[in-house]
A and B are shown apart, each in its own frame.
Chain A
């Protein structure tokens, strides 16, 4: 009698315990749209290596990602702009920011008859997007581009109509180089634009610039490359005119060497140093430092170790710049903070 009871209990226990260990780990995340292509590549590659790990990601926008993380409806969030102090306080616990890849925003234009690559400075870009410089042959632009025959047509400014991390990065840069921009327009994912027309998504801006003569806009680097639109070089903090490339963007991140804050909430627009492309930014994954679901926490820290090392090789093909080695080293340390 006793033995059969014992067996029964053991059997029951096994029945409860077994499926749990054999079950696949499903982890949900949500957030930024900009890194979505690389994240989905990572999650599917990681799933091939670890068939029992399934990570779902909804690209609902940085704001939505932060909101869902705060409400604890997802295990991790993703954002293109670091969380504000208020958002950090509103979250259900201490949140870690972990940079994953780098992106760049480029000024794209369509000027009939101009094939040369135009040069811009931050303040001139700010004036164009504020509607203060209204013609392509304005001395402010012509002075930077001697030898280029610029038409006298009116500039049509195209910006994002939807809230976007791209806008945040662009405005963050303009705010650093133009006091006027900072005061009158400001830095956020959606802005009160003084001029221009709004188009939805990077592809919307790229499309409208491409079909509108004398238009200027801003898009993520990959969209400019894919759509074959002209984009200009931008003057960096070391007074060089640099064209965005994976290399010049990684250099912007390397410029944080020795000055990286421990929480990784750092803006690398207008970063100092030679060869740096100034409108570059990290994009982050967001985790709670001590998540409730320990199993998911272990899985995600394993995943992060993989993404920061092996995963970086998928960046270039998708138009993202890989993280510099020093940032990866710092993050491997920071991953230990997540209590698993």
Chain B
């Protein structure tokens, strides 16, 4: 996605491009690109078609409804919507500073010999399947959180964000797992972004008498759109994560501020209830949850593009570095 000024002009087509293998190649890549758009459109269309029953019955109330009762056929998505956004935002808050810290250390501070093994290790985290994270969460993280909950003084437990029985599974466990899963993605991209900042930036900062900290700040400022892109990439992943989350979040569709309360997410309810959903309205409601997740990831991605564009416009004079696409977390949809 590198698009510095003057980039467009450099790909002006020459006469020989219009025929022969070049043209063929252009058409083939064009077709592949179009296919992706068609695929997204087809997914949206199918989701709309299959959730018609639920859309007709509940309308916009589906988005705000608080009750999810398959027995009486009443369906509302708001507890799942809340759970997905709350857990992902918490994960981003935890993972963001850590990921940036890792990226800064690896690109600016780490001694030469450390860089490679450390980058390799953080990226290795990304290769662990999410079910393994889930198992680790169930057997290691959840008991730890339960200890934290039972050990917490009563006065703190009265605060709304710490209320609820000490079960261990719940929002905090989910957010912690998500944060760990998101860090390698965000830190790897952020590290590449920082490494792409031209050395002249650092040299200029030092030439002006900047301390090391100030020089790093200048580098971060220079690469800020890319770093934000890296964080949003992680956020997109957190939105769609299913297996690890459903194993530790407690799967209780009641929206709550409490970090200890068992809650639910959109991806988790799909994975949990789809197989046994036998009646048509129930199935349609589940598909509509998929549609909501699809829309939410689209909106989040659109907002992140807007944010990056507005930042780019603010710094037009300096060509911005790689601003990676925030990929959607719609894998579960």
Contact = CB atoms under 8 A, between A and B. Distances in A.
Contact of B169 (A63, A164, A187, A197): A197
A189 B170 CA distance: 23
Interface in B280-312: 282
B308 to A, nearest CB: 37
Nearest to B143: A211
Contacts of B274: 163
Contacts of A196: 252, 262
Contacts of A197: 167, 169-170, 250-252, 262
B249 to A, nearest CB: 9
B279 A86 contact: yes
B278 A208 contact: no
A300 B139 CA distance: 43
* Range class of the B interface residue count: 35 or more
Nearest to A61: B275
Given A63-B278, A162-B272, A190-B273, A156 B71 contact: no
A163 B277 contact: yes
A4 interface: no
A200 B273 contact: no
A63 B70 CA distance: 13
Contact of A154 (B165, B252, B272, B282): B165
A133 interface: no
B275 A60 contact: yes
B53 interface: no
A275 B279 CA distance: 36
B34 interface: no
A211 B169 CA distance: 11
A121 B278 CA distance: 31
Contacts of B278: 62-63, 66-67, 84, 87, 189
B275 A163 contact: yes
Interface in B167-207: 167-170
A186 B72 contact: yes
A144 to B, nearest CB: 23
A222 B251 CA distance: 24
B275 A198 contact: no
Contacts of A188: 70-71
Most buried by B among A60, A62, A161, A192: A161
Contacts of B72: 186, 192
B246 interface: yes
B276 A198 contact: no
Contact of B168 (A162, A164, A204, A212): A212
Given A61-B276, A162-B276, A192 B251 contact: no
B73 to A, nearest CB: 10
B246 A200 contact: yes
A22 B211 CA distance: 83
Q: What is the predominant secondary structure among interface residues of chain B facing chain A?
A: loop
Given A63-B277, A163-B277, A191 B251 contact: no
B95 interface: no
A192 B71 contact: yes
Interface in B102-123: none
Contact of A211 (B142, B262, B272, B279): B142
B69 A192 contact: yes
Nearest to A154: B165
A246 to B, nearest CB: 26
A185 B168 contact: no
Contacts of A185: 71
Interface in A145-181: 154, 156, 161-165
A246 B139 CA distance: 31
Contacts of B92: none
Nearest to A134: B165
B210 interface: no
B167 A191 contact: no
B67 interface: yes
Given A197-B169, A197-B251, A207-B138, A190 B70 contact: yes
Nearest to B275: A61
A62 B168 CA distance: 31
A64 interface: yes
Given A191-B70, A200-B247, A161 B275 contact: no
Given A162-B272, A208-B169, A211-B142, A191 B250 contact: no
Contact of A63 (B71, B138, B262, B275): B275
A193 interface: yes
A204 B165 contact: no
B267 to A, nearest CB: 13
Contacts of A164: 276
A142 interface: no
Given A84-B278, A165-B276, A187-B71, 18 more contacts: A61-B276, A63-B275, A161-B251, A186-B71, A186-B72, A190-B272, A190-B273, A190-B276, A191-B71, A192-B71, A193-B252, A197-B169, A197-B252, A198-B251, A207-B138, A208-B169, A211-B139, A211-B168
Interface of A: 60-64, 66-67, 84, 86-87, 154, 156, 161-165, 185-193, 196-200, 204, 207-208, 211-212
18 contacts: A63-B277, A64-B275, A64-B276, A67-B278, A87-B278, A162-B275, A163-B273, A185-B71, A189-B70, A190-B70, A191-B71, A192-B69, A192-B71, A198-B264, A199-B247, A211-B139, A212-B167, A212-B168
The 8 A-B residue pairs whose C-beta atoms are closest, nearest first, are A163-B276, A198-B251, A61-B275, A161-B251, A186-B71, A192-B69, A63-B278, A63-B276
Interface of B: 67-72, 138-139, 142-143, 146, 165, 167-170, 246-247, 250-253, 262, 264, 268, 271-279, 282
